[in-house]
Chains A and B, each alone.
Chain A
């Protein structure tokens, strides 16, 4: 194969939510489409497909990434986590952050929620729990329903243990 011949398909091996999967995919397939259509995990949503809104945020090798700005082939050999991996497996319970979102009415239509949860999941709460830092962290994700106030309240509550707060609901 010479450099002038485009590679149309590639083999990828990606560990998603702890399970390793192998697929032959078009070289141009976006990671977001790979996760949603090839693997079938539709909890990751596409809000803009140009890297701005954050709805498609997943964790790749520990970092939050916008899966619409990455190709599936770039995740080859990597580890991907999606929103489906957050709640404890095999039970009806939610993760503490999911529970805090529920308790604080921090989602309405829910389309952006997975992106927020994955952004939050990707960081060390101890480094991000100051109020200004929370706002800074969340400002990479767009929400059109909540006005953000209850999202901030949910994060503050879920992370209250990290700064010894009382789980204030006051955004």
Chain B
């Protein structure tokens, strides 16, 4: 696919495909970034939320008198005060409605649930007063459910009184062809795989600042989706959308956690309106650990049918999501559907029957985290393949090569309807295997003289749905995005898009694209993102959609603008439009470099000097484009299937690990990624996404785990001392290589790349450690793979007499 956007534009330098340095860097590097906590408005009040210390309780009474008596406290609000605020919408018809209120009314369902808001002159006073409100709260504790088994037990305490049970949804298709596969197969086995509770954990916590000026409510929110926040704030506060402006300032990471619209996004604007004062709430880290969504906690009960030669005939997988209390908007239900949709990865494996269930428990609501269900499914599939390979004496890499989609096999429709439009499934894995060989030899040599160390290799071949529909996730929004491009009288270009950016470099990408599409330098392009007042409606950045949607919409708008600019230039040069070319920013007649007209002259004609416009042409030089990929589906078809992604990236991850048998210490010696996200706009940015994703994947594979007390559903974590985020010392060196299989239905072939990095590590680490410890028969079924877990696996294998001990 050619990256020359328009044959009539000639560049001495093309910007797409190059690692153009980021325009976003200077602010954070020099301390001049402007994050939400940096916003200060005269007269601004500070808000602190009071949160439940009980996992499940009725709130009998809240005595706010002592708090209100503290000097500097302006107000204390509870649910009763917010009676005029609408309930968070329950848009999805097939899940249990949670009827979430911005502040808990009479029942709290997890530790961390907000039930009161203290407003004071400064944060210190507000914190003091919040402690007094907490002390003045009387609870009537209710029995708790801390995990899936407790929640689903007969007679279990119910979280939501108006539900029949704690089950929010249960979708159980039946596939006769899978039954037949089980009847015909040589063998079967059953297993349960578990994915543990984690979170995206951006370094910047959440925060909201709200202010009313001249009737317009301005909300600065550390959100990934400003327009969706605007629609929801307007709906719940009963305001017209044009009177609500949502801005995201510089954002310190999101990783999915900031796609949700939280109680604070509603409560803080409500307070600003009620008190007619600017108000600010900044989440602290301890509340972040219980008040921002968790993710990934799923259980997978599988049955596998396979033959003696290693052929996997069929799989039944019942995937059950622990939703926490379910009190989050948008609901956290979708990841488990994505798990099942993507579970077969890059493998040609139609005989999958997947059941999808969601259950509520007395824990923090679960929701989005980079990867959004894909890592959980990849873990299950790769562990199944390793098990079958071991049971049948088949080489693990060879078995994968037998199963992977071959070149030319795309488009390929997966078991759930996902349409793999293109990809390099076999090629990526083969390339990865080649890169692994020297890494494996190095590791074996390094530990050749150490009898306590074993070396192993782990594999993962995944697919990454990119630019998905948001309809099944939200029951409301769709999946396109808009951009507006304008050329001003001085020839400067302004691009505004509904996308958001929080570290990915979307401004840089938009400038690269507009520069090539309009034949200008990126320095001449101003990019506006993340402001509902200045940019057209867009859904924000999540689902690895930024690059694809942004380049798609900016390109559409730019092409429309070029048509008009060319007509104006042709008129000014007294030539035919077809003969006009643009070389390094100047329009001229093909074959002649003189005379020419500049973008400034065209812009001036369009906006100011109408005498230079062709007769009858409407003035102005601003166009919009709304990109909506043709094959993106928003609803299930008649057979219950859906292709809910605009395109599909793919990748192969391979890791070489060493395991110290006596201590259980695992070290990733080398981590190899072969990645394919279609046309690459900016290689450095793509590589950065891969690095960061892999690091978060390793965090889940080896370290991060939110644990709750089984008897009380109380969190056993409160800080970074007990939720272990990997540092520089834990993240291994990564070697990254690329294929580029262009997306057939995106004009530039661009796919997304934000999430793939997180997918491989759990499967890779568990697979590699199991491989290293194969002499004991260790076969890990869950993460994190901690030294304790490794030692436990060895001990239990030894107890089972599976092999010789160390």
Alpha-carbon distance between A83 and B28 when the two chains are bound, in angstroms:
9
Q: Does A45 contact B (CB under 8 A)?
A: yes
Q: Which of B276-323 contact A (CB under 8 A)?
A: 284-286
Which of B245-253, B437-445, B517-525, B738-746 contacts the other chain?
B245-253
Q: Which residues of B contact A36 (CB under 8 A)?
A: 37-38
Which of A59-67, A70-78, A105-113, A158-166 contacts the other chain?
A105-113
The answer to whether B21 touches A103, judged by C-beta atoms less than 8 angstroms apart, is yes
The answer to whether A147 touches B691, judged by C-beta atoms less than 8 angstroms apart, is yes
Q: Does B610 contact A (CB under 8 A)?
A: no
Alpha-carbon distance between A45 and B203 when the two chains are bound, in angstroms:
9
The answer to whether A49 touches B202, judged by C-beta atoms less than 8 angstroms apart, is no
Q: Which residues of A contact B29 (CB under 8 A)?
A: 83, 87, 94, 98, 101-102, 107, 110, 113, 117
The answer to whether B728 touches A110, judged by C-beta atoms less than 8 angstroms apart, is no
Q: Does B714 contact A (CB under 8 A)?
A: no
Q: Does B641 contact A (CB under 8 A)?
A: no
The answer to whether A47 touches B692, judged by C-beta atoms less than 8 angstroms apart, is no
**Which chain A residue shows the least CB distance to B757?**
A147
Alpha-carbon distance between A45 and B29 when the two chains are bound, in angstroms:
12
Q: Which residues of B contact A149 (CB under 8 A)?
A: 691, 731, 733-734
Counting contact residues on chain A (CB < 8 A from B), the size range is: 35 or more
Q: Does B729 contact A (CB under 8 A)?
A: yes
A1 → chain B closest CB, angstroms: 21
Q: Indicate whether A108 sits within 8 Å of B731 (C-beta atoms), given known contacts A43-B33, A98-B29, A144-B692.
A: no
Which of B56-64, B130-138, B554-562, B718-726 contacts the other chain?
B718-726
Instruction: Select one of B38, B251, B692, B725 contacting A142, CB under 8 A.
Output: B725
**Which chain A residue shows the least CB distance to B201?**
A144
Q: Which residues of B contact A150 (CB under 8 A)?
A: 688, 691
A60 → chain B closest CB, angstroms: 16
Q: Does A9 contact B (CB under 8 A)?
A: no
> A76-117 interface mask toward B, CB cutoff 8 Å, 1 = contact, 0 = none?
000000111011000000100010011101011111111001
Alpha-carbon distance between A103 and B734 when the two chains are bound, in angstroms:
19
Q: Which residues of B contact A109 (CB under 8 A)?
A: 28, 202-204, 250-253, 502-503
The answer to whether B692 touches A110, judged by C-beta atoms less than 8 angstroms apart, is no
Q: Indicate whether A105 sits within 8 Å of B31 (C-beta atoms), given known contacts A53-B720, A110-B252, A144-B201.
A: no
Q: Indicate whether A113 sits within 8 Å of B28 (C-beta atoms), given known contacts A26-B124, A47-B203, A48-B285.
A: yes
The answer to whether B734 touches A111, judged by C-beta atoms less than 8 angstroms apart, is no
> B465-489 interface mask toward A, CB cutoff 8 Å, 1 = contact, 0 = none?
0000000000000000000000000
**Which chain B residue shows the least CB distance to A111?**
B252
Q: Does B505 contact A (CB under 8 A)?
A: yes
The answer to whether B731 touches A45, judged by C-beta atoms less than 8 angstroms apart, is no
The answer to whether B37 touches A46, judged by C-beta atoms less than 8 angstroms apart, is yes
Most buried by B among A44, A142, A144, A151: A144
Q: Which residues of A contact B284 (CB under 8 A)?
A: 49
| Between-chain CB contacts (< 8 Å), 15 pairs | A29-B124, A49-B285, A53-B725, A84-B31, A86-B31, A94-B26, A103-B21, A105-B688, A109-B502, A110-B28, A110-B29, A111-B252, A144-B253, A145-B688, A147-B695
Majority-rule SS of B interface residues: loop
B712 → chain A closest CB, angstroms: 24
Instruction: Select one of A53, A94, A139, A144 contacting B729, CB under 8 A.
Output: A139
The answer to whether B729 touches A136, judged by C-beta atoms less than 8 angstroms apart, is yes
The answer to whether A110 touches B503, judged by C-beta atoms less than 8 angstroms apart, is yes
Q: Which of A105-161 contact B (CB under 8 A)?
A: 105, 107-114, 117, 135-136, 138-152
Alpha-carbon distance between A51 and B54 when the two chains are bound, in angstroms:
27
Known: A111-B203, A149-B733. 10 other contacts (CB 8 A): A36-B37, A43-B30, A45-B204, A49-B284, A53-B725, A84-B30, A102-B21, A111-B35, A112-B203, A145-B692
Instruction: Select one of B19, B26, B31, B34 contacting A44, CB under 8 A.
Output: B31
Question: A residues touching B (Cβ–Cβ < 8 Å)?
Answer: 26, 28-29, 33, 36-37, 40-50, 52-53, 55, 82-84, 86-87, 94, 98, 101-103, 105, 107-114, 117, 135-136, 138-152, 171
Q: Which of B49-107 contact A (CB under 8 A)?
A: none
Most buried by A among B28, B200, B284, B286: B28
**Which chain B residue shows the least CB distance to A42?**
B38
B700 → chain A closest CB, angstroms: 13
Alpha-carbon distance between A120 and B721 when the two chains are bound, in angstroms:
23
Q: Does B22 contact A (CB under 8 A)?
A: yes
A83 → chain B closest CB, angstroms: 4
- 6 closest residue pairs by CB, A with B: A43-B31, A110-B28, A111-B252, A109-B503, A147-B695, A147-B691
**Which chain B residue shows the least CB distance to A104?**
B684
Q: Which residues of B contact A144 (CB under 8 A)?
A: 200-203, 253, 255, 692, 695-696, 725
The answer to whether B694 touches A147, judged by C-beta atoms less than 8 angstroms apart, is yes
Q: Indicate whether A147 sits within 8 Å of B731 (C-beta atoms), given known contacts A98-B29, A105-B685.
A: yes
Alpha-carbon distance between A110 and B251 when the two chains are bound, in angstroms:
8
Alpha-carbon distance between A145 and B254 when the two chains are bound, in angstroms:
10
